[in-house]
Structure 1
């Protein structure tokens, strides 16, 4: 019985059509890195993505998940009480100030996300612009910016953040004032990193032949900088962003632990809660310090795992190893199918 050629062509075209429709998903940034990773590297990347996603969702859904407000110390039944152990009413117990630990941990995630977003976004924009201008034009401006960036980069980051937090906040620790003060103080610490990376890439890219061709054609400097130089100089920035996000969480926690964070009546902050719980540990009250500490460790670890995995995947040697594994798998499947055919013929 003969099979129509048209039906065979239609049946064979269906998988190709389906693959073409969803090809964009396979090329998505995170999905592409997961497909490139192998073995332990894939496990670390997936763990980092999972922890970071949970951290962001916890911050976004804080008004729905938190049983109480960040500064709430009583409800209709009365006061929560101080240093109460975990119970059905307060799953993580209460602090020395009478706050619900679970609510403080959840609202603290929202504070951390806001600080990280503001700090990383501001430092990214300022650092990229300064690096682009410095690397492209050079001259005395380049020398001055490099000198200032090296001086800031050599200064202890936490000490610089403390100094800037005092200057920016002016002793005030309201919610948005404290968040902006912490974010801007962290921004100054991060700017030299983006500046140095972008500047070095711009210096390399501006000597390429396509940039010289654009200059010969009379293309304005602004167009060359944005369409030719900048687009080829920011490929490694996503890796730095993930690593800086974890560093921003630790810096924010350090500021709060040293007393330069946000007051508990304004917003929840993990570092401040951890500092207030230090005296409780010696008295056997473990819950006031354990849960804020775990939140800091888990959030920083998730972003660090994701950043380090992405950084390793940028190594060409890992990509070649992954490609070799895929080719070996294809050869193995082909050889097995050939053996089966021989057995069928027999």
Structure 2
């Protein structure tokens, strides 16, 4: 009789824990640094109202108005903006806006990309050819240009909180659907030729049951490797919209790109605090997500993983599951397990 898995074994099976165990040397340091930076970002977004000393659109307190372009002090640790808002509060609340864009963009692109990739790879034929051509054409569109068009269409360029979020998220969704489509399509084409899928067809299982119970479950296990790439692009697109003046109005929500746009004139006047902290927040989040994504991608490549393990003086047996690593061919991402 099989014994139930202990909590320790279940924890070791989690993707991040498994990757941390496999990583060695500099690669492990990069992954840990990325996880720490990303964890601080997520924690800040979760408890933003508790951390921020003022509201994102607050201009005064009991003592009166804050005043514009006030230098950092005991009352305003990071100073105030040209509009009289507290810089620290807007930087903290900006994490919530950034996280909302990431979630909406990934959920939409994941749902649509996985669905059409599954249908295209499973049924093939003219449907597959049409979807491949359409996705290749869509992938050629510039992300930021599409985001500007969506901002104008959704809210006339003067974005409310959710108008700005959806303008950036929809543009990211359209651009990144082809990535999910390619990965799922390649995995579906491979998996549908496996013996257990053929057996399911022989016993009379419906196409829907085969796709959802057998193909989808195995085709999506490598998707977390490209989540971080989408998240980084979503942050940069949202910041680009705000910097160009198509972002979220300060009375509707806090957004780092918009604050950078309003701080342009301050830079030449020696007022550094209105621009340095929103810019540093963008760099912080993008750097953390990029470090996580690059580390996971390296660990999915058996050549890089074996080489770095050898450099660290470790030995291990590497087993490669069918399907190549990200960018290593039409198979897309890798399904790789390392056994010790």
TM-score range, shorter chain: 0.7 to 0.9
After TM superposition, the structure 1 = structure 2 runs for residues 160-179 of structure 1, keeping only pairs within 5 Å, are 160-179=146-165
Structure 1, unpaired ranges of 5+: 1-16, 329-346
**C-alpha contact (below 8 Å) 1:313/1:319 kept by paired residues:** yes
What is residue 336 of structure 2 aligned with on the other side? none
What is residue 126 of structure 2 aligned with on the other side? 140
What is residue 32 of structure 2 aligned with on the other side? 46
- Distance in 2 (alpha carbons) for counterparts of 1:103 and 1:323: 44
Aligned-residue Cα RMSD (Å) equals: 1.8
Q: Which structure has greater helix proportion?
A: 1
Q: Pick from 66, 71, 84 the counterpart of residue 85 of structure 1.
A: 71
Deviations 1:260-319 (A, max 9, x none): 110011000000001111111011111100000000000000000001100100112344
After TM superposition, the structure 1 = structure 2 runs for residues 60-139 of structure 1, keeping only pairs within 5 Å, are 60-139=46-125
Offset of residue 45 of structure 1: 0.1
After TM superposition, the structure 1 = structure 2 runs for residues 217-296 of structure 1, keeping only pairs within 5 Å, are 217-296=203-282
Deviations 1:180-216 (A, max 9, x none): 2322222112211111211122122212222222212
**C-alpha contact (below 8 Å) 1:36/1:322 kept by paired residues:** no
**C-alpha contact (below 8 Å) 1:95/1:288 kept by paired residues:** yes
Moved more, 145-154 or 183-192: 183-192
Deviations 1:82-141 (A, max 9, x none): 111111111101111111000010000111001111111111111101110111112222
What is residue 151 of structure 1 aligned with on the other side? 137
3-state SS, counterpart of residue 22 of structure 1:
helix
3-state SS, counterpart of residue 219 of structure 1:
coil
Deviations 1:39-96 (A, max 9, x none): 0000000000000000010111100000111111111111111111111111101111
| Count of residue pairs brought into register by the alignment | 311
- Distance in 2 (alpha carbons) for counterparts of 1:112 and 1:318: 32
- Distance in 1 (alpha carbons) for counterparts of 2:279 and 2:196: 52
- Distance in 2 (alpha carbons) for counterparts of 1:250 and 1:259: 14
Offset of residue 177 of structure 1: 2.5
**C-alpha contact (below 8 Å) 1:165/1:185 kept by paired residues:** no
Deviations 1:228-248 (A, max 9, x none): 111221232101001111111
Deviations 1:141-177 (A, max 9, x none): 2222212111110111211121122212344522223
Instruction: Please identify the structure whose Cα radius of gyration is greater.
Output: 1
What is residue 306 of structure 1 aligned with on the other side? 292
When residues 21 and 94 of structure 1 are mapped into structure 2, their CA distance, relative to the original with a 3 A threshold, is: closer
Structure 2, unpaired ranges of 5+: 317-340
Moved more, 36-45 or 182-191: 182-191
- TM (norm. structure 2) is 0.87
- TM (norm. structure 1) is 0.86
